[in-house]
């Protein structure tokens, strides 16, 4: 049985989807706040509470994911540095280019790990709130 790997979206695709989802969610929630007035319904209060709680949860999850990815990337870079010290005859000309690529990949990996929880929640909220709007 082949192993299935979950393909992660590129950082640019995540950013584009996030830039489309966030204004939709904000517009829906502001309209809901305005419609609720000074005495929002129990459903509105639940949504407003969830709005704040999920921001805190997404922020925490994002920072944890970035910290874990940074640890993995630093270990990968340390192993690469140790390997170049132990085997100096392997690729002395391309070492600088490989190190630059490794740093670039590490930075994008850390950003991708940090954006994933925010992206996941914002896109899910956009879909959920869009369905609620059509249902009415």
Read off the pLDDT of residues 10-40 as tens digits, 9 standing for 90 and up: 888 889 999 999 999 989 888 888 888 888 8
**28: number of Cβ within 10 Å:** 18
Return the pLDDT at 131: 79
Chain centre to alpha carbon of residue 85 = 35
Q: Where are the domains of the chain?
A: 17-135
Q: Are 118 and 55 in contact (CB under 8 A)?
A: no
Return the pLDDT at 59: 93
Return the pLDDT at 91: 64
Average pLDDT across the chain, whole number: 85
State how far the Cα of 26 lies from the Cα of 14, in Å rounded to an integer.
18
**123: number of Cβ within 10 Å:** 18
Residues 78-104 have pLDDT tens digits of 988 888 788 777 666 667 788 888 899
Per-residue pLDDT band for 133 (boundaries 50, 70, 90) equals low
Helix (H) or strand (E) holding 65: helix 42-86
Phi first, then psi, for residue 93 (nearest 5°) are -75, -35
Per-residue pLDDT band for 43 (boundaries 50, 70, 90) equals confident
Return the pLDDT at 7: 57
End-to-end CA distance of the chain: 45
**Residue 90 region by backbone torsions, left for phi larger than 0, else alpha for psi between -120 and 50, else beta:** beta
Return the pLDDT at 5: 54
């Amino acid at each position: 049985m082949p192993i299935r790997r979950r393909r992660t979206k590129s950082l640019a695709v995540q950013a584009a989807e996030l830039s489309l989802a966030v204004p939709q969610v904000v517009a829906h929630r502001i309209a809901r706040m305005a419609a609720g007035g000074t005495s929002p319904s129990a459903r509105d209060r639940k949504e407003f509470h969830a709005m704040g709680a999920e921001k805190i949860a997404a922020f925490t999850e994002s920072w944890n994911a970035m910290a874990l990815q940074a640890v993995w990337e630093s270990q990968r870079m340390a192993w690469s540095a140790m390997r170049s010290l132990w085997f100096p005859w392997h690729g002395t000309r391309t070492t600088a280019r490989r190190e630059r690529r490794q740093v670039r990949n590490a930075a994008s990996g850390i950003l991708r790990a940090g954006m994933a929880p925010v992206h996941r929640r914002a896109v899910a909220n956009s879909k959920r709130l869009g369905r609620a709007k059509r249902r009415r």
